[in-house]
Structure 1
Amino acid sequence: MSMHPKELETTMQLPAKKRYDYFIKKIVDFEEVWSLRNEKGWVMSEDDYRVPQLHFWPTEDYAAYCAIDQWEKTVPEMIDLDDFIEEWLPGMLADGINPSIFYNRNNSVSIEIQTLKEDIEEELKNY
């Protein structure tokens, strides 16, 4: 399901907190999370404190939009929401990796794993 370019552009221009809220609603609605990967693995970066981060988007289109520059040889890949909650988040916590939510080529929301999990679970109550 490809989204209208105007929606993509408009959403990418939202402030980080609004993109985060959109992310939570979309991933719960579609029951999937997206990231970028290549043959070497998932895209990662470091935050300002040199903490490793994995990057996540709400849809394939948003992830693909960020497959440029150092990530140009990556492709969007879907992660099932249940796997994300039950396997990815605990694994990231154990490995000291933070989530970077909805990067838009400028910034993203860096958030504690526990807060992200609680926000997802809170949204799940609406379904």
Structure 2
Amino acid sequence: MSMKKIHELEVKAFSQLTNKQRYNYFVTKVFEWKSVWGLADQDGWVVTEMSEDIIFPLWPAEPFAEKCQINDWQQTQTKEIEFDELINVVLPDLAEDNVKVATFIVPGSDQCGVLPAQELLNDFLTLQEQEKSKEANDASSE
């Protein structure tokens, strides 16, 4: 379990980015740190609804998730999901159930990147492929 230390200023700065910037930060950091954070209560993972969609909120690091433990989510705990579990179990299950993912909700902002779980999974799989081919290239150039 690598606990990434994130400075309060970083939390503040990244919380002010546009959806697309936050999404790119989210994907890059989750891939780099090999984990993602959600919120859970006694009933399990916290989900929310937007229009007709069920949304599963995720954050790139615990301090971002902690910022959202307000209002309806005051009684929640932050919970880490290992990257392998995320791409092999969580996202495929969410995709199958037609649940969307909210990446990096920020308190006080009604903007956040919401997308089908399958799209997020595809982005992570693409990064994995790129990493593998880079490692292969590095190995062959030695």
Decide: shared fold, TM above 0.5: yes
- Cα deviation, residue 89, structure 1: 1.1
- What's 1:88 paired with? 90
Give runs of aligned pairs for residues 16-95 of structure 1, distance below 5 A: 16-48=19-51, 50-95=52-97
- State how far apart, in whole Å, the 2-side matches of 1:78 and 1:96 are: 22
- Cα deviation, residue 92, structure 1: 0.9
- Cα deviation, residue 113, structure 1: 2.1
* RMSD, matched Cα: 1.3
- What's 1:8 paired with? 11
- State how far apart, in whole Å, the 1-side matches of 2:60 and 2:81 are: 10
Aligned positions, number: 126
Which has more radius of gyration? 2
Q: Which 4+ residue blocks in structure 1 deviate beyond 3 angstroms? A: none
- SS of the aligned residue for 1:2 comes to coil
Gaps of 5+ in 2: 133-142
- State how far apart, in whole Å, the 2-side matches of 1:96 and 1:114 are: 9
TM-score by length of 2: 0.83
- What percent of counterpart residues are identical? 28
Question: Which amino acid in structure 1 is aligned with residue 7 of structure 2?
Answer: H
- State how far apart, in whole Å, the 2-side matches of 1:94 and 1:117 are: 12
Return the match for 1:126 from 124, 131, 136: 131
Q: Which moved more, 1:92-101 or 1:32-41?
A: 92-101
- State how far apart, in whole Å, the 2-side matches of 1:10 and 1:77 are: 23
Gaps of 5+ in 1: none
- Higher relative contact order structure (alpha carbons within 8 Å, sequence separation ≥ 6): 1
- SS of the aligned residue for 1:103 comes to coil
- Cα deviation, residue 51, structure 1: 1.0
